[in-house]
Structure 1
């Protein structure tokens, strides 16, 4: 069942004001240099963060990227008043280099990543992202291409299912769940979220569900990550953003589980410290840090924000500033 509420009511941007405030100095730096600021919302969704940025920064141009065609349509409606200052692009966000090149943009002043599944994808029941109601097992963020969750649960070997449920879902009952899926599909193909939830419930102890939330939560996360190659995309996209942001520019990332945050933390940490070998007598220019952390560890939403938007509860924010050109030998070939 599709939502018919206005997009602005359906989507409450996580840590909106904090994200905008972190990007503000980068926008000011661009204006001081006589340039029109360019901001990239790499995960546009329904455009909540984009709307806030365009409203707060009236001279900025925004590039919005999303793989979900329905999200792009809804965001386009929401951002119609800013159409002369936006480029909305149907793409996966690890295509940053090509997108900016196609638009004739040499570098950006700020990037925002709001990772994971969007409000739109959770609310559109037929997309199959949620375990709370029965729907086709799809889980594709881009419904125009790629394999579905149904294809994965019905064709992957038990060993492959075990791997993704354990690795991407961090599920301690991964072995039992993989076995239950294989047993269930031997009787009939698993085609809906309800069928998958039934198979999972049959092997997850009731006590675990009482303390760890819905028994299918981690398996659904694992399947969604596998369907959309989320961690591989993120691993490519963060270094691309670091390369594409100007000195003085900033990158803000909202992640929602430890696997995402680990990738972001690693990329940011690598650029925020000297790469000189231990005991090296002189720190050469190429060894110097090229990023500066703007957050102490991660920042979380306030209690009030979580009350207003429960989906923000697990959010972790990290942000960095590019402080100098990145050495050529650190860039990808």
Structure 2
């Protein structure tokens, strides 16, 4: 059964961006097209949409979804870290509104077959773009990175307290046989941590899988580059919204926004990050960790 992805903080992001007829709107993380579809429903061809995603499957799904709505949309299969080059290639100098939704889609987790879910017997790939376009996969990190480097990756990008124990267990297991599948890795991780941790609020593999995914896709550097390029391309009084899902992302966004405010280049639209409502969290558990920040260019 195909998963239906529900965009988090959809209403809040669209309202906060204050999109208007005549705007150029960049959906830098197109995904299943939820945010862009809402903009298209509101404005039709009155807003030019540039939809960007590194995943060809996401482009395919959003193309089908937006075909049902009359709109002016350009699809770009690329990583948002290349935003400046993307817009230059389209002949677009300035844009009015930009959205970065940093959450993973339900499709990526449940149906991509790339090993994002620790509950599935899938190859350890974890690339957002098709693996043929990547020089690194989670399989290579797990099986060929030194124990020390693996520990550092898990600690830095997963903020995992048992990073040392997990890395040591992985290193021990892979001596006998390569670790091939996501559920296999999850079982190894569960066996490395204390019993009390195995039965905690989140699955014991959650933070390690996050760390591997971030490392494979160089997510934090891409985020820093993407929001910097996006802000430069914003027109005066243009707005940028970022929905983050963990503290590492939010820290980067918060620091960048504060820097722009301090330099009198921007002003905060959201004094504090907007979180999902109780109703949204009840309907969509993935919304629990979401934070929305919005800045306006001076």
Superposed CA deviations along residues 143-166 of structure 1, whole A, max 9, x for unmatched, are 131121111101101111011000
Distance in 1, matches of 2:224 and 2:7, equals 24
What is the aligned counterpart of 2:290 among 315, 324, 327? Answer: 315
Given that 2:125 and 2:137 are in contact with CA atoms closer than 8 Å, whether structure 1 keeps it comes out as yes
Query: How high is the TM-score relative to the length of structure 1?
Result: 0.86
Q: Give the drift of 1:212.
A: 4.3
What is the aligned counterpart of 2:12 among 8, 18, 27? Answer: 18
Q: CA RMSD in A?
A: 1.4
Given that 1:135 and 1:192 are in contact with CA atoms closer than 8 Å, whether structure 2 keeps it comes out as yes
What is the aligned counterpart of 1:113 among 97, 100, 104? Answer: 100
Distance in 1, matches of 2:203 and 2:2, equals 27
Q: Does residue 117 of structure 2 align to residue 123 of structure 1? A: no
Given that 1:158 and 1:182 are in contact with CA atoms closer than 8 Å, whether structure 2 keeps it comes out as yes
Q: Give the drift of 1:82.
A: 4.4
Q: Give the drift of 1:57.
A: 2.5
Q: Give the drift of 1:210.
A: 2.4
| Ranges in structure 2 where 5+ consecutive residues have no aligned partner | none
Paired position in structure 2 for 1:261: 250
Instruction: Decide whether aligned partners of structure 1 residues 201 and 141 sit closer, same or farther in structure 2, where only a CA change above 3 A counts.
Output: same
Paired position in structure 2 for 1:188: 177
1:56-135 paired onto structure 2 within 5 Å: 56-58=42-44, 59-82=46-69, 85-124=72-111, 126-135=113-122
Between the two proteins, the alignment pairs up a number of residues equal to: 295
Paired position in structure 2 for 1:4: 2
Paired position in structure 1 for 2:35: 49
Superposed CA deviations along residues 203-230 of structure 1, whole A, max 9, x for unmatched, are 1011023234211000000000011110
Distance in 2, matches of 1:239 and 1:79, equals 28
Distance in 1, matches of 2:227 and 2:169, equals 36
1:148-187 paired onto structure 2 within 5 Å: 148-187=137-176
Larger Rg: 1
Distance in 1, matches of 2:109 and 2:70, equals 27
Q: Give the drift of 1:273.
A: 1.7
Q: Give the drift of 1:202.
A: 1.5
